[in-house]
Structure 1
Amino acid sequence: MKRFLITLTVLFSLISMSSFASDSKVDSRVLKSFETSFKNATEVDWTVTNNFYKAKFSLNGQYVAAYFDASGNMIAITRNISSTQLPISLQTNLKNNYEGFWISDLFEVANEEGTTYYVTVENADTKLILKSSNSDWVTYQKERKS
């Protein structure tokens, strides 16, 4: 039993050390940019790829993701939103043109080009991912359900 407890303790220590190891791979320029932009962020979790750095975190009670390039420049910010947070024109268009569909995912992407919204709507037969374009929706991806 003692051996089992020691093994568990070592295992949990290794797991906790590896979960913080990803932070050390984040470039200092990226960390500085993040800390400057999001001083009150909590629960920060980093993902590092060849092309970008992604920080998922909580800010003012909302979960957000920020993307940075290797130089520390912010590429985009995303957050999940509710349909009531959409601009009125997009809400109306969605309600009028996609009656019989339900919303299964909705998020906002903000970058230097502006703010874009993506919504996934579904019915019994079809799953659509729509992208906002001004006050209208365009089909970004369409999938038939089996």
Structure 2
Amino acid sequence: MKKLILLAAIVLSAAASFGRDIDNRKMQLAFDRVFAGATDVRWYETDNNYMAKFTLKARKVTAHFDKDGTLIATSRIISDSELPVEVISTLIRKYPDQKIHNVVEYVVDGNTYYAITLESATEWTVLRTNSWGEAIVMKKLQKA
């Protein structure tokens, strides 16, 4: 949970150096090693970290690095068909009247989490799940 809060703080504070090339050679080498073939790379610098937004295999990806070039976390939008079977089973069982609106996959320290927005006729439900299908409701919003 602390790592997800850290990731959220990184994302929210990433405005110091908007979309420019990066001067840190160590960072650039780490990025090129992990994300070979990335295109449309834009860098953002915060007080303690770097964030890169880019396209990899036709997917929009965001990656967070510390100042030493260590990858902290990644996120990308995926389709519901890419969710693990355990997650799909949980959604069908617990939320049978809601359809999947969007899914963001987060990888932090080798652990994969999903932020899933569900939609029903009357509300939106935002969940956080892990790969095993354990789901926590983060927010419920009533439709107007």
CA distance in 2, matches of 1:68, 1:74: 4
- Tell me which residue corresponds to 2:119: 122
For CA contacts below 8 A with separation 6 or more, give which structure has more relative contact order.
2
- How many angstroms does 1:113 deviate by? 4.5
Q: Deviations over 1:12-70 (max 9, x none)?
A: xxxxxxx87x214x533222210111121111112222242111111122221111112
CA distance in 2, matches of 1:129, 1:52: 27
- Tell me which residue corresponds to 2:80: 83
1:142 aligns with 2:137: no
TM-score by length of 2: 0.76
Q: How many residues align?
A: 127
Q: Deviations over 1:100-133 (max 9, x none)?
A: 2222220111121411111011224322211114
- How many angstroms does 1:87 deviate by? 0.7
- Tell me which residue corresponds to 2:71: 74
- Partner letter of residue 144 of structure 1? Q
The runs of 5 or more residues in structure 2 that have no matched partner are 1-17
Larger-gyration structure (1/2): 1
TM-score by length of 1: 0.75
Moved over 6 A (4+): none
CA distance in 1, matches of 2:124, 2:95: 11
CA distance in 2, matches of 1:126, 1:52: 36
SS state at 1:63 partner = strand
